[in-house]
Structure formats: structure tokens, C-alpha cells
Amino acid sequence: MEFRAIRTCKNCGSEDEYALSKIDAAFSLKYDLIQSKKCTKCNSDKWSEIKYPSPYLDKELLDIWGADLDLNFMDQDEDIILAEEENLPLFLEAIDNKRYPQSKLNILLSALCILAYDNIIAPEEYTAAENIHRKAKADRVINELTKRKHLLTNLSWEIMDYIKEVIFPRLDIKIPVK
Ligand SMILES: [Zn+2]
């Protein structure tokens, strides 16, 4: 029980804590249950906020997610959540070994496109030093995606258009006309 959700009562402001396992936290498994709880102080069923922790992604969580088509990471935009640089080796290993069903691997591929995109767009919002670092990150991801571009050409809806417009030309993939 390393994680805690906190439910704030709308009526009296009291906070109730609920212990969560890492898996509960990662996939919001107890969210509905906590929503349905009553305040332990005033018994109100109205809440103003539920703070839900998000554990760092690791191989254990990714494997659980990859094996279960019904599991999603907390947010609806799970590929955006997954788009973190430290996940790159984990994702490449899963993709190359076809560790999960294709629909899950496609989400990982999409997340890698988002990761590259995030480090390419809007350089004017960053300092020169930050941009050197961003470019190195983007180059690293683009390099890995280039080696696997045959996997991307079949993806259509999985990757958002604005991402494709920036990333696909860098991979020398033609953007399919609709
Ligand atoms: Zn209350």
C-alpha cells in the first residue's frame, strides 16, 4: 500500500484517505469506488476533489497494461501520458519483441511520435541550451522510429494528424491523403 487517494468532502471539507496498490493507482481501479464513498465525518456523498496518485511507469505496469486490452492508464489520452523519454528503452523492447497485442503496440508507437513531436515544436518557448537538449532527445526518438518506420505506415487513426504532419516527413513517410 504505497499510494493514497484523497477524497475531499464538498460539504465539510474533510479529507478521507484511501490506500491503493500501485496497480490500483496506475489504472484508476478504485476511482469509482472512492467516488461512491461517503465522508467519514459528515456522511455526505458529495465530493469536491479526488486526488489520485500516478505511479511512475515501470516494466511491471507496462506488462500488465500490455496484456489486458481493458486496462488503460489514468487519462483518456494514454499515449500522451506514456510519452516520456525514460520510457523509450522499455517501449522499444516491447515493440521489437511484439510483447503485446498490436493495438497496444500501436499506442506505444504513437506515444513515441508524441515524444518526438514534443521535443521539436515551439523552440521559441525554450532557451538555446534547452533546445540543444530537446533536439538531442527528438533526434534519438526519430532515429529509433526510422528503424521501425514500416510499423508506422499502417497506423492511421492512432496518430493524431498534427503529430503526423511534423513527424512523418522526418521519417520520410508520405502522409496518406484522406
Ligand atoms: Zn464531510
Residues 32-72 have pLDDT tens digits of: 999 999 999 999 999 999 998 888 889 999 999 999 998 88
* C-beta separation of 7 from 36 below 8 A: no
Q: How far is the CA of 39 from the centre of ligand 1 (A)?
A: 5
Q: How far is the CA of 7 from the centre of ligand 1 (A)?
A: 10
Reading the block at residue 60, the C-alpha cell is 511491471
Q: How far is the CA of 38 from the centre of ligand 1 (A)?
A: 8
What number of other Cβ atoms are within 10 A of residue 105's Cβ?
21
Residues 137-160, mean pLDDT to the nearest whole number: 91
Task: Please say if the pLDDT value at position 1 is more than 60.
Answer: no
Q: How far is the CA of 11 from the centre of ligand 1 (A)?
A: 5
- 80-120: per-residue pLDDT in tens? 778 888 899 999 999 999 999 999 999 999 999 999 999 99
Task: Please say if the pLDDT value at position 78 is more than 90.
Answer: no
Q: How far is the CA of 145 from the centre of ligand 1 (A)?
A: 51
